[in-house]
């Protein structure tokens, strides 16, 4: 199996598609952001230059992938708006699940597409994909204590506040976690509630 060109399945949500970036393309995006070959033949475009002008998580993910390309399974996905086929953001886990089965996610949405529920929709789809794997037991999300919209999003999923940490780049962050089982139970409960209210 060629892990350098392997792409994971596309994650479908109501308005979005989460397209996995293969290891080779991830490296090209980081080292040659103006090289548009990575978009050739793909069902999306990058008019907002997501991860081109600012590399975001690539500075951490690319060295990890170069050392072990099998880790790329957990890494960067484009967040693509189905209606226009444009990339409006990206999301990535920080690594494979650790020894406790914990996996942490990061996400960025282009400014003009914020406050429209896209972050919540993308996270829901990404987390549902992740918990299919038995090694994933705990979902983690860290966020600045001043980022109220993101705190509302993660709280709406039932995540619990676990404390604070100091990030070398982002400064103080709140830590939120939920077990995979509770996450799925809450989604099923919420989906049933929505269906009964129609």
pLDDT digits (tens, 9 = 90+) for 29-59: 999 999 999 999 999 999 999 999 999 999 9
Under 8 Å CB-to-CB from 172, ≥6 apart: which residues? 144, 145, 164, 165, 166
**Quick one: pLDDT band at residue 196, thresholds 50, 70, 90?**
very low
Q: What is the mean pLDDT of residues 49-72?
A: 96
| pLDDT given at position 188 | 80
Compute, in degrees rounded to 10, the torsion defined by CA atoms 133, 45, 147, 106.
Answer: 30
Q: Is the pLDDT of residue 138 over 50?
A: yes
pTM: 0.94
pLDDT, position 190:
73
Distances (CA, A) of 111 to 17, 60, 82, 100, 171: 18, 23, 18, 35, 21
> 75 near 21, Cβ under 8 Å?
yes
Mean pLDDT estimate for the chain: 94
pLDDT more than 90, % of the chain:
91
> How far, in Å, are 71, 102, 121, 131 from residue 45 at the CA level?
25, 33, 20, 29
Domains of the chain: 11-197 (3.40.630.30)
């Amino acid at each position: 199996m060629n892990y350098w060109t392997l792409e994971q399945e596309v994650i479908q949500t109501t308005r979005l598609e989460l397209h996995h970036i293969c290891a080779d393309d991830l490296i090209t995006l980081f080292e040659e952001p103006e090289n548009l070959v990575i978009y050739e033949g793909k069902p999306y475009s990058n008019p907002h230059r997501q991860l081109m002008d600012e590399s975001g998580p690539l500075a951490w993910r690319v060295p990890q992938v170069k050392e072990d390309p099998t880790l790329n399974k957990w890494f960067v996905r484009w967040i693509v708006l189905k209606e226009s086929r444009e990339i409006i953001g990206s999301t990535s886990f920080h690594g494979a699940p650790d020894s406790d089965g914990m996996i942490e996610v990061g996400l960025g949405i282009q400014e003009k597409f914020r406050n429209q529920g896209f972050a919540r929709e993308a996270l829901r789809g990404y987390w549902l994909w992740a918990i299919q794997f038995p090694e994933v037991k705990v979902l983690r999300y860290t966020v600045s204590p001043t980022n109220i919209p993101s705190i509302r999003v993660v709280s709406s999923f039932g995540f619990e506040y676990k404390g604070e940490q100091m990030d070398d780049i982002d400064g103080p962050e709140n830590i939120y976690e939920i077990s995979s089982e509770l996450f799925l139970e809450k989604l099923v409960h919420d989906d049933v509630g929505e269906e009964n209210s129609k």
